[in-house]
Each structure stands twice: as C-alpha cells, then as structure tokens.
Amino acid sequence: MNVRLDHVVIAVTDRRRSDAFYRDVLGADVVERDGRAFYRVGDQQLNVHAAGVSPAAVARIPVAPGGSDLCFEWLGPIADAVAHLGRLGVAIETGPLLRQGARGQGTSVYVRDPDGSLLELISYRA
C-alpha cells in the first residue's frame, strides 16, 4: 500500500500572528484560498482553522488552538535551528535532545507556536 501523510489541521486564534510565525520560523508558504489559510512546509500542508472559518468536514472533536503537537524536520544541523530561533526571539522550551523520529535517531528542540501548540524541530544531521 502506498500511503503518506498529506496534511494536518491546526487551529489558531489570530491568523495574522500565526501566519507570521509559521512563515518566519518554519519558512512556510502561506496560501490563502476562499478566506482560508494553508501553510505549506516542504511537501506537507497545515490546514488552518481560524475564527470565522467553517470547514466542510471536521474531526469528531475538532482540534483546539494550542492543541497540536507537530514535528518538522530541520534539514541542517540542529545548531543552525537554535541560532535561527534565537535570531527570531523564539524561546526553546527544551533541547537539544536525542529523539527517535520517522527517519531514526535525531536531535530535537521544542518550541511553542503563538497559541501554545508544541512544535518539534528534528535534525538527522550529526
């Protein structure tokens, strides 16, 4: 069976603040269509549920702002991620730590988005 993750949903309270965070911190392309936002990060997409947006279908218990826990692969050394976050004034909650990810052992740092969702940046580079 050939299956891979295409997108996940995050909920945000302030679209402008979240758009800026995901664009600046993760390098996401912010795409707007029909009043909705989508953050494209590499080959994946985050569908953004913001106030006033009524998506066609939602989970039985929709994700709440601050209720996501996502991991993104940082393509360079983790030290570069730490420096990048520092330049942007984004506090590292924990790390760097050794962690197991989809591609094996890597080194991760954890931060929070503006609503409090946990974001892990993992690097598989030594």
Secondary structure (H, E, C), 21-75: HHHHHHCCEEEEECCEEEEEECCEEEEEECCCCCCCCCCCCCCCCCCCEEEEECC
The yes-or-no answer on residue 120 being catalytic is yes
Cβ-based neighbour number of residue 42 at 10 Å:
12
In whole angstroms, what is the distance from residue 7 CA to residue 38 CA? 10
- 114 touches 21 (CB < 8 A): yes
The residue count of the chain comes to 126
Which residues are identified as catalytic? 120
